[in-house]
A and B are shown apart, each in its own frame.
Chain A
Amino acid sequence: MLRWSHLGLSLGLAFLLTSCDDLFQYNPNEETLLDRDKDLTAKNIARISQLPVSDTTRFILMGDSQRWYDECEDFVRSANQQKNISFVLHAGDISDFGLTQEFKWVNEIMTRLKYPYVTVIGNHDIVANGSATYRKMFGPLNYSFGFGRDRFIFVNTNSREYAFDGSVPDVAWLKAQLADNPAHQNTIVVGHVPPFDADFDKNLEKPYTAALANDPTVKFTLYGHQHRFYEGQFYDDGVNYHLTTSMGARGYMVVSTWEGGYRVERVNF
C-alpha cells in the first residue's frame, strides 16, 4: 500500500513538474486555447496602430504555411532581416488539417517575428473545426483596418468550403467596406483564393472583381493559395492581382506603398 501511494504521488508530481499545457489531449478537433492565443487579430491590429507612419509603408505578404513549419521558421529568420517592415500579412492556409494544434504551432513561429502579423482565412483553415478555432484564435473571417494612407480589407474567399452557396465571398459586405472610406485611403483587399481560381465561386467572380474595379482607391489586391508567385491585370480593369507563393516554395513578397504608387518585390529564402 505504501509503495502504491508513493507511486501515485511521484507520478502526480511528475505531471505537475512537466507543466506542459498539452500533455493531455482530448480530441484532435478540440479547440482549447490559452488566453494569450485568443483574439490575435484585435491584439495585433492594436500593436500595428501604435507603429509610426512614414512616407512609405513596407509590409510582408506571405502565406500557405500549412505543414511547412521548418520552412516557416526560415521565413521568420529571413523576414526579421528585412529593413523598415511594419507588419506581416498571412494570406491564409495557416493550417493544413484545420487542427487547433497546427494554428498554435504556426502562431508560435510567427510570434518570433519582430513585427505584428495579421491573417486572412484559407480553405484549409475551414476544414473540420478550423473556422471555429480561427474565430476564437484570430477573430472575424471578414475584417478591415487602416494604417497610414492605406486601408486593408481581409475577406474570406474560400467559396468551395461553403459548397459555392453564394455566401462566400460576402460581396455585399465587401462593397459596404469599400464605400466606407471617407479619408480616401488606398484600399488593399487581401484574400486567400484569387477570383480566377476554380475554388472561387464562378457566380461571384464578376461582382467581386467589378466591386474592386469600380473603386478608384483599389490599385492592387493580394492572394495566396496557388503556391506560386503570379501577378497581372487579369481583368483589364486597372486592378493588379498579386499572388504570393507558399512557405514550402520558400518565398514571400515585400510590398511598399507611398503616395500615388506601390512596388512588389519577390524574396526567396
Chain B
Amino acid sequence: MKKYLLSLLLLLSIQGMAQEVGLRPRRAWYLPDHLKLQFAGNIGFLSGGPGYVSRNKTLETDLLFGFLPQKYGGDALVTTTLKTTYSPWRIGLRDSYYIRPFSIGAYLSYTFGPQFDTKWPSYYPAGYYWWATAIRPGAYIGGKAGRNVVLNNRRRSFELYYELGTYDLLVISYVQNKGFLKLHDIVSLSLGVKFGFD
C-alpha cells in the first residue's frame, strides 16, 4: 500500500511538461471523462472503471468492476457497481492544486455468484426474506484533492479521494441497536485515485 501511495505522490509531483494547452479537438461525447481505481468500500478489494462528469464538474457517475481475491476476502467475489458522487465545492490552491472538501454519493452494487439472488427462488413464500443478497445499495461521504496537469500537450487531472460509507443492511442493524452498535461499527473507509481526461 505504502509503495503505491509513494509512486502516486511522485506522479503528482511531475512538473510542467509543455505549458501550451488544448490543441487537440474535443473528444467524442461517448468516451469516458475519467478512470477510477478504488481500494475497499464494499465493492471489491480493488475496483476500477470509467466514468463521466457533468459539465460543471460537480457530479460524477462511474461504472466500476471490482474483485476481491480469496486471500483477502475468504471468498473470491466479483462485483459491478454503479456509483454517483456529488462534490459541490472546489477550492483552488497554488500550482494548480485543488481540493473538493466534501462529497456525497450513493451506489448500487451487484455481486456475482450462485449463492446470491436478485429474486428469491419459488420455494420461498413471497416476502420470506425481504432483501436481495446480490444487490446492495450504499451511501458515503468523503472528499478529494487533485491537481490539473498537462501531459503530452493534453489537459489531465489526478485526484485522490476518500470515502466513508455504509450500506442498507448495516444501517438497519444500527438503527435498531444503538446500544450495542456504534457508528464506526457500520462505517468503513475506502481510498481511490481518479485520472481525468479534461
Contact = CB atoms under 8 A, between A and B. Distances in A.
A and B associate: yes
Interface of A: 1, 4-5, 7-8, 12, 15, 20, 22-33, 67-70, 72-73, 96-102, 105, 109, 127-129, 132-133, 136, 160, 163-164
Contacts of B101: none
A31 B75 contact: yes
Interface in B1-54: 2, 5-6, 9, 12-13, 39-45
A15 B116 CA distance: 32
A35 B22 CA distance: 56
Interface in B129-178: 129, 131, 133, 136, 145, 167, 169-170, 172-173, 176-178
B177 A26 contact: no
Nearest to A23: B189
B188 interface: yes
Contacts of B121: 163
B181 A105 contact: yes
12 contacts: A1-B9, A4-B13, A8-B6, A23-B188, A25-B42, A28-B136, A30-B74, A30-B77, A97-B131, A102-B173, A129-B115, A160-B124
Nearest to B167: A28
B138 to A, nearest CB: 9
A164 B123 CA distance: 8
B190 A24 contact: yes
A69 B173 contact: yes
B188 A22 contact: yes
Interface string B106-128: 00000101011000010110000
Nearest to B43: A27
Given A27-B79, A29-B75, A70 B167 contact: no
A68 B179 CA distance: 11
B177 A27 contact: no
Contacts of B68: 26-27, 30
Contacts of A7: 145
A12 B3 CA distance: 12
Given A26-B40, A105-B181, 11 more contacts: A12-B2, A26-B77, A27-B73, A27-B77, A29-B133, A67-B177, A69-B173, A70-B179, A102-B173, A128-B133, A132-B74
Nearest to B131: A97
Nearest to B5: A8
Contacts of B115: 128-129, 132
B184 interface: yes
A18 B146 CA distance: 25
A105 B41 CA distance: 20
B110 to A, nearest CB: 11
A128 B39 CA distance: 23
A30 B68 CA distance: 8
A160 B124 CA distance: 7
A32 B111 CA distance: 17
Given A4-B13, A30-B73, A69 B42 contact: no
A53 to B, nearest CB: 34
B123 A69 contact: no
Nearest to A100: B74
Given A73-B179, A132-B75, A29 B173 contact: no
A5 B9 contact: yes
A40 B186 CA distance: 24
A102 B43 CA distance: 18
A29 B44 CA distance: 10
